[in-house]
A = this chain, B = another copy of it.
Amino acid sequence: MRNILSSLALAASLAAASAPVTALAEDGKDTVAYSIVADLTSQVGQRLGGTAREAYARDWAVKRLTALGLTNPHIEPYTMPGWERGAESAVLLGAAEQKLAITALGNSGATSANGIKAPMVYFASYEALKAAPDSAVKGKIVFIDNAMRAAQDGAGYGPYGTARRSGPSLASSKGAAAVLIRSIGTDHNRDPHTGFTGWDKGVSPIAAAAVSAPDADLIALRASKGVAEQVALTLTPRFTGNVQSGNVVAELPGRDRSLPPILVGCHLDSWDLATGAIDDGAGCAIVTAAALQAVKDGPLLRTIRVLWAGAEERGGFGGEAYAKAHAKEPHALAMESDSGAGRVWRVNIALGAADKVLGDTIAARLSDMGVVRGENKAEGGEDVGFIAAAQKTAVIDMGQDMTHYFDLHHTPDDTLDKIDPADLQQNVETWAAVLKIAGNAATIAPQG
């Protein structure tokens, strides 16, 4: 790992986490963001959307936002389809028997409790599976490989992620017994990456899991030597029906409450394999600490609304519920932090044509802070993207360095030690700079 705590940094983190949350550290540093993510990961831990752990996290969040002095922290509930992980194991059978490190994808179907045994068929990519005749797939355990590479902007996640998002449905539609994919990630740990998979209309969910990169290497090596693999697979996740989830919303009121607010969002839920430090504890820490820093010298003209969305990982349920609940309420600007804890290196600014000066002012301020300007296109993510799309709200995307993000994303390794406090704080500073400028802008038009 790259961003790891040395023992000195751990000592610092312990000190930071123990400090009063709204205070500055002895050296004058703002420790709000680090304290939020340290406490969320250690006092709450995993908080899968739609589970009791997420509900516990919401209660914790309301308390923390209240303690931080935000106005009216409250929960906005909604319901969603529940899903929970069960037992999971996979073994390459035969004389050269080997256990694989696997984890079920979110929305995976299940095998029987005793598992299944079937031959495995190897595909080098989603496209290769797509091109295969159904007869090559029927009754088999499909393996889908990929070759994702790290990128500063995380660009590979879109195309390579297709194997995870759509591969299982495609395999099921071709009659596969189950599906395994190489983790959508860039690390070489035995820690598989979970994540959302979807089932096309009319397609039955089958057991679908990710294997870690080293296990995928093993499968690829054996496949290249013509080994006829027989696999024993047990996956017993279950759909738990309609369950309760919710968004946590709070505000820092502006001087003019008649003006549409600035919405800053993150997601409170995490996958269930780790403590959700970078995904997305860091994001909630960043948007909240930045909003607080922006109003440190007094309220801005506009209200900043903080959204800690629910159940993003399970399918953007919180962001969608927010958009529905607040559909009739105009928003001036939407921003989201859900790309880890790496430093901000680029800003994409999507404002209405009339707001060119505002965009240039923000870009110039960020340039002073070492952030380059990217394109005039921005859309947020699953948390603020639904409302922004519906209202054509102005959006600013703060592009974080994601070079190492997909080493950790959706794995058991998404833990506090991976966060570099200095990088986290650089996010807070750059976000606060944007919020101060935009929050004092008298007019912000929709994009189009």
B residues near A7, Cβ cutoff 8 Å: 147, 149
Pick the contact of A98: B45, B98, B99 (CB < 8 A): B45
A409 shortest CB reach to chain B, Å: 14
Q: Are B14 and A221 in contact (CB under 8 A)?
A: yes
Q: Are B218 and A275 in contact (CB under 8 A)?
A: yes
Pick the contact of A45: B96, B191, B213, B411 (CB < 8 A): B96
Which listed segment binds B: A299-307, A362-370, A414-422, A440-448?
Answer: A414-422
Judged by a CB distance under 8 angstroms, whether A22 is at the interface is no
Q: Are B13 and A221 in contact (CB under 8 A)?
A: yes
Pick the contact of A221: B38, B99, B147, B190 (CB < 8 A): B38
Chain B: which residue is nearest A186 at the CB level?
B4
Q: Are A45 and B97 in contact (CB under 8 A)?
A: yes
Complexed CA–CA distance, A99 and B85 (Å): 14
Complexed CA–CA distance, A43 and B218 (Å): 9
B residues near A96, Cβ cutoff 8 Å: 42-45
Interface residues on A, range: 35 or more
B residues near A44, Cβ cutoff 8 Å: 96
B residues near A53, Cβ cutoff 8 Å: 97
Complexed CA–CA distance, A191 and B412 (Å): 9
B residues near A136, Cβ cutoff 8 Å: none
Judged by a CB distance under 8 angstroms, whether A56 is at the interface is yes
Task: Please encode chain A, from 75 to 88, with 1 for each CB lying within 8 Å of some chain B CB and 0 for all others.
Answer: 00000000000000
Complexed CA–CA distance, A224 and B42 (Å): 11
Known: A188-B1, A189-B1. A218 touches B416 (CB 8 A): yes
Q: Are A217 and B56 in contact (CB under 8 A)?
A: no
Q: Are B18 and A98 in contact (CB under 8 A)?
A: no
A62 shortest CB reach to chain B, Å: 15
Pick the contact of A224: B14, B149, B412 (CB < 8 A): B14
B residues near A10, Cβ cutoff 8 Å: 217, 220
Judged by a CB distance under 8 angstroms, whether A46 is at the interface is yes
Task: Please encode chain A, from 41 to 70, with 1 for each CB lying within 8 Å of some chain B CB and 0 for all others.
Answer: 111111000000100100000000000000
Number of this chain's copies in the complex: 2
B residues near A42, Cβ cutoff 8 Å: 96, 218, 221-222, 225
User: A176-197: which residues lie under 8 A (CB-CB) from chain B?
Assistant: 187-191
Chain B: which residue is nearest A148 at the CB level?
B7
Judged by a CB distance under 8 angstroms, whether A282 is at the interface is no
Q: Are B187 and A217 in contact (CB under 8 A)?
A: no
Of listed A4, A45, A191, A217, residue having the most chain B CB within 10 A:
A217
A64 shortest CB reach to chain B, Å: 13
Task: Please encode chain A, from 218 to 242, with 1 for each CB lying within 8 Å of some chain B CB and 0 for all others.
Answer: 1011101100000000000000000
B residues near A156, Cβ cutoff 8 Å: none
A213 shortest CB reach to chain B, Å: 7
User: A1-47: which residues lie under 8 A (CB-CB) from chain B?
Assistant: 1, 4-5, 7, 10, 13-14, 17-18, 38, 41-46
Q: Are A188 and B147 in contact (CB under 8 A)?
A: no
Complexed CA–CA distance, A56 and B95 (Å): 8
Complexed CA–CA distance, A98 and B416 (Å): 14
B residues near A221, Cβ cutoff 8 Å: 13-14, 17, 38, 42, 416
9 residue pairs A–B, Cβ–Cβ below 8 Å: A1-B189, A4-B188, A5-B217, A10-B220, A17-B224, A42-B221, A42-B225, A189-B189, A189-B413
Leading 3 A-B pairs by shortest Cβ distance: A214-B415, A190-B412, A45-B98
